[in-house]
Structure 1
Amino acid sequence: MSAKLIHGYEVVIGFETHAQLATQSKIFSRSPTAFGAEPNTQASPVDLALPGTLPVMNRKAVECAIKLGLALGSHIAPESIFARKNYFYPDLPKGYQISQFEIPVVQGGEVSFFLGDEKKTVRLVRAHLEEDAGKSLHEDFIGQSGIDLNRAGTPLLEIVTEPDIRSSEEAVAYAKELHKIVTWIGICDGNMQEGSFRCDANVSVRKPGAPLGTRREIKNLNSFKFMQQAIDYEIRWQIEQIEDGHAIQQATVLFDPDTGETRAMRTKEDAADYRYFPDPDLPPLQISQAWIDEQRAQMAELPRTMAARFVADYGLPEYDATTLTQSKAMAAYFEATAKACGQAKLASNWIMGELSRRLNAGETGIESAPVTAAQLAAMIARIADGTISNNAAKQVFDALWTGESADVDAIIEAKGLKQMNDSGALEKIIDEVIAANADNVAQFRAGKDKAFNALVGQIMKASKGKANPQQVNDLLRAKLAA
């Protein structure tokens, strides 16, 4: 499918995501990584690179990298190299960052997701281990800045994509899918407000078929909402600049959510500017096949594997299966419901539809849903056996949601929602409706299907909505055909 054009331009986006790893200590020291501590209380001599200190690799951080590689179908390098990335910034006490350059630990792989009902795949270049820098704090009201080094040395995985993304909507869908994966496998808590999952978007535009345009990198996007706003603004800005005859200069930019605009922070550096060289204090990282196999054995069922199983075992469409595996909690809720009621597609429809709509409206997760999987299954079973119609089920669901009652059958009884399944009583109503609507009967026999729907409506009205719609259709067609 061809890429969507904006004012005749194709958008090209690549992503770099920094996922903070779920370790108790930093990547090269034993300093804690807990969020919210008093400034400069979690920085050790190793984090500050004081003379005589040496970094020691955190085994848990390596295991997180292995798990990500397994989850994304990547190659896990049996040997990878740590390098020094040299630059000066006040919150970088060493004057360099320990990262990986030429040989990263995770190589290749891909992330697949749905945008609407269209499946997309973004290829990955690499994911490499590195340490975080500290944080500059600016107190504008007193005109001073301070440095908090608590984050210095915090373990990160930087996950880099090919420039495969073609819109802001696709970028957000990719970021959400990656966020789901890293939290699902337990290597990152995904807390964007605390900086545990930070995204940088490299955005450029070009005329179709032209070489890649000059990119500008939007740094530290820490919410999906701001991510889309920032990319959309940057796309419009670049197109306007080009249309006005200006050349795009490579730069690092920040997004201001108050103004909805991006603004240049500094010119963008290239790899040569960082003067990478292998870190002399760290030996090559060796990862054996036995270590990889050990981590694979410990991993829970992956979302893509679970989605494939839902398709195979429950006969769900791929879209449903992918949506239901957006979180472990949702997947577990679906599976419990489907097993209890034996109606997997109906369960999928209700979870993706009414249940998700109410959860989204209340900005809450499925873990907090007031309707349990057992209750939803009991309600779906009553739809399947013809006790209630879909319309009546909505009233049952509402009663469950509001806590009116916890018992499905009690709600059905109290509200008089049972369908009329007595064919004798239903035939009597149908005969009366046919007799009273001779014009509609004649129109239907003349080939007008709308007249049939009008008759069905009259029958449902006469039965006070309790007639089984399928039974009404079958009996009415039989009588009209006779």
Structure 2
Amino acid sequence: MQWEVVIGLETHVQLSTKTKIFSAASTDFGAEPNTHACVVDLALPGTLPVLNKGAVEKAMKFGLAIGAKVAPRSIFDRKNYFYPDLPKGYQISQFEWPIVIGGQVSFMVTPKKGEPYMKTLNLTRAHLEEDAGKSVHGLEVGQSGIDLNRAGTPLLEIVTEPELRSAEEAVAYARTLHALVVWLGISHGDMQNGNFRCDANVSVRPVGQKEFGTRCEIKNLNSFRFLQEAIEYEVRRQIELIEDGGKVVQATRLYDPDTGETRQMRSKEDSMDYRYFPDPDLLPLDISEQWLEEVRSSMPELPDQMRARLIKDFGLSEYDASILTASKEVADYYLAVADKVSDKKIAANWVMGEVSAALNQKDMSIETLPVTAEKLAALINRVLDNTINNRGAKKIFAAILEGNAASVDDLIDQLGLKQISDTGAIEKIVDEVIANNPKNVEEFRAGKEKALNGLVGQVMKASKGKANPAQVNQLLRKKLA
């Protein structure tokens, strides 16, 4: 039987405010347990929540960025459940009246098999809520502790429609969403610190069936690799279970990266189990058109807008433009290079090629890359004006990457990489190569185009890589015609 995978994601994005969503306590990560928890976070009797305006504006920015409706009025609710790290016995969230309604996110999917493609995913909603605290286990044998530093940290929960059809699509969406919230400046996006966590709702159904299968929710996936592995395992588990005559039971599951498996944590709750009702301590949140326009005017150029501009003004492909706008840091770096280089496509190739490889190999961010945008632009310009060839440019790039602080022009001199463009000098070497390689000459004249590559290689070797490859190719073809 052919199976179709159905996935929806719920993503908790920690908003980058200095203080919590309903109190003045700090949101700084890494402090001693319970040192960033005030009386509001501890839920002491008589304390009242006060809404953080900054958290609201960050949610508004997200809604505008995805083309959603930013609700003129939204309401905070109490979501009732009982965990040791939830001091009030309920979480302040939004249910029927969220701040962001609808919207779309477009992203590039690069499958293991097949061609890359663009997908547009519909979002259901995004709503504001407070985070819970953290249970800390294993302090001593048989003991656990509660750290309420995280309690009250502002979250934006972003919910998709169940339109994802593979783990690859889910990860591609999550990466794009992560890049967007960082791009907008509404979240630090540090996944190790819990700034960006995904819950994946996964089900399977026979191809062609309209009804959804029974879903299981995999909680708290805080890396893209774990997200992919967890979904792939859960899909296999459900298919095998159904094909063996069993039934999928709706449940909340956890992913164990050590075993590569999901395991059941508890039976899955429905919204009615949380007994939502409007929080009597918080007034409805009213957003005026004037406030919305003020937030809109403060937003940067969005990834989709920049991608369209790179395609239209720079002549880049949709794929190249998507790669270059995958993060704001890479996009800013590319624009700084392209601003000083006439050939925008060559600039894109260098950023997606040598720069991307260097970042992966050195495990560094583009902000700390020794090859600054200015130096890369200077290097590309020396290729474009035929001072050096691509092979020499890569040697200079490697030298700068390893810490050589000299200018590009000085490195060209130091490494002896200046290209020979004197036609007479190149012609002399070409004549010698033709005379010494009669077999290649004969094969080329017989119609074997690849034989010319061997002759070009011989000329480049004789010139110690300094000959202009374009001139070499042109001269060889002229002489062998």
Q: TM-score per shorter chain, which class? A: over 0.9
- Shift in Å, 1:142: 1.8
Q: TM-score, normalised by structure 2?
A: 0.94
- Length, aligned pairs only: 475
RMSD: 1.9
Q: Does 1:196 find its partner at 2:190?
A: no
2:213 aligned residue: 213
In structure 1, the partner of 2:96 is 102
Change (3 A) 1:438 1:273: same
SS of the equivalent of 2:339 reads: helix
Partner SS, residue 180 of structure 1: helix
Flag structure 2 segments of 5+ consecutive residues without an equivalent.
111-115
Measure, in 2, the Cα distance between the counterparts of 1:396 and 1:40. Answer: 52
For 2:242 and 2:467, how far apart are their aligned partners in 1? Answer: 64
What residue is the counterpart of 1:452 in the other structure?
452
The secondary structure found in structure 1 opposite 2:340 is helix
Partner of 1:92, secondary structure, is coil
Which residue among 7, 14, 21 is the counterpart of 1:20? 14
Distance 1:480 1:150, change over 3 A: same
Amino acid at match of 2:242: I
Partner of 1:34: 28
Task: Calculate the TM-score normalised by the size of structure 1.
Answer: 0.94
* Cα deviation, residue 168, structure 1: 1.7
| Aligned-partner residue type, residue 243 of structure 1 | E
Query: Structure 1 residues 54 and 475 mapped into 2: Cα distance closer, same or farther (>3 Å)?
Result: same
Which residue does the alignment assign to 1:148?
147
> 1: CA distance between counterparts of 2:85 and 2:323?
41
Superposition map of 1:42-61 within 5 A: 42-61=36-55
Give the CA deviation at 1:402. 1.6
Distance verdict in 2 for CA 1:438–1:148, change over 3 Å: closer
For residues 139 and 454 of structure 1, what CA distance do their matches in structure 2 show?
Answer: 67
Distance across 2 between alignment mates of 1:384 and 1:44:
61
Q: Which AA in structure 2 matches 1:240? A: E
Greater CA drift, 444-453 or 124-133: 444-453
* Equivalent residue, structure 2, for 1:365: 365
Conservation of the 8 A alpha-carbon contact between 1:15 and 1:200: yes
Q: Does the 8 Å contact 1:10/1:207 carry over to 2?
A: yes
1:286 equivalenced with 2:280 (yes/no):
no
TM superposition shift of 1:374: 1.6
| Counterpart residue type for residue 149 of structure 1 | L
Match of 2:339 in 1: 339
Residue 113 of structure 2: aligned partner: none
CA contact (8 A) 1:343 1:380 kept: no
Cα distance change, pair 403–135 in 1 and its aligned pair in 2 (3 A): closer
Which segment drifts farther, 363-372 or 333-342? 333-342
**Residues in 1 aligned to 2:242 and 2:132: alpha-carbon distance in whole angstroms:** 35
CA distance in 2, matches of 1:401, 1:121: 38
Partners of 1:414 and 1:48 in 2: how far apart?
A: 65
CA distance in 2, matches of 1:50, 1:435: 93
1:261 matched residue in structure 2? 261
Q: Is the CA contact (8 Å cut-off) linking 2:179 and 2:328 kept in structure 1?
A: no
Q: Which moved more, 1:322-331 or 1:186-195?
A: 322-331
Percentage identity across paired residues of the two chains: 64
- In structure 2, give the amino acid aligned to 1:372: T
Q: Which residue of 2 aligns with 1:4?
A: none
C-alpha distance in structure 1 between counterparts of 2:137 and 2:173, whole Å? 33
| 1:435, distance to aligned residue in structure 2 (A) | 3.3
Aligned partners of 1:375 and 1:406 also within 8 Å: no
Distance 1:229 1:373, change over 3 A: same
CA separation of 1:440 and 1:14: change in aligned 2, threshold 3 A: same
Q: 1:66-110, CA deviations, whole angstroms, 9 ceiling, x for partnerless residues? A: 011111111101111222212222222222211111121101111
In the alignment, the residues of structure 2 paired with residue 151 and residue 339 of structure 1 have an alpha-carbon distance, to the nearest angstrom, of: 43
Pairwise CA distance, 1:149: 2.3
The equivalent of 1:122 in structure 2 is: 121
